[in-house]
Amino acid sequence: MTKLSDGLLLSLLKVLLLPLAPAPAQESTSASTPGSPLSPSEYERFFALLTPTWKAETTCRLRATHGCRNPTLVQLDQYENHGLVPDGAVCSDLPYASWFESFCQFTQYRCSNHVYYAKRVRCSQPVSILSPNTYKEVEVAAEVAPTTMTSPFLSHITGETFQSQDVGHW
């Protein structure tokens, strides 16, 4: 039954959203670079495809069951990003969640928090600064000196200060 309902939802998404979606109007060459966010007027047209809210909710149900790699959802995500879903961190207009590790994470956040019409925006800082994975490959060979740490939870119970004896590498 679930496969049947998922198939119906996927077909509904294709019928309701994608045939109606003209390519975003190119307002300027820099604004429509593949992988870049839509302009405010382009987002207005994009979100019109997801109105009323039940259309956005349907898209979110499909994203929850099929993931971000589903071909129909990839097509929708490409539309939202001038034809190319970006790799790496993206920024949003949400003041309490201004960046995400990936576009997929951003779309899932929109869905799970019911902020269907949150926009992706250009990042004010370089993406490499935002991404916690940027320096994953860097190895630091420096020895870490012992430090004194106080655990608020444990020191509250025991009144003790703890010594860290860990010596290691990043």
* pLDDT > 50? residue 155: no
Residue 39: pLDDT band by 50, 70, 90 thresholds? very high
Query: Residue 68 has what pLDDT?
Result: 96
| DSSP states of 5-44 | HHHHHHHHHHHHTTTT-PPPP-S-TTTT-TTPPPPHHHHH
pLDDT digits (tens, 9 = 90+) for 100-129: 999 999 999 999 999 999 999 999 887 666
Kindly state the average pLDDT of the residues 125-149: 47
Kindly state the average pLDDT of the residues 48-65: 97
pTM comes to: 0.65
* pLDDT > 70? residue 51: yes
Query: Residue 131 has what pLDDT?
Result: 56
Say how far apart CA 130 and CA 73 lie, in whole Å. 26
| DSSP states of 119-145 | -EE--SS-HHHH-TTTTTT----PPPP
Tokens of 33: 């670079």
Domain boundaries, the chain: 32-121
Query: Residue 86 has what pLDDT?
Result: 97
Q: Which helix (H) or strand (E) holds 146?
A: none
pLDDT digits (tens, 9 = 90+) for 19-34: 545 444 444 444 589 9
Tokens of 136: 């994953």
> Mean pLDDT of all residues in the chain?
74
**Least confident interval from 63-67, 93-97, 117-121, 141-145:** 141-145
Q: Where are the beta strands (DSSP E) in 45-161?
A: 90-92, 99-100, 120-121, 147-149
Say how far apart CA 132 and CA 122 lie, in whole Å. 18
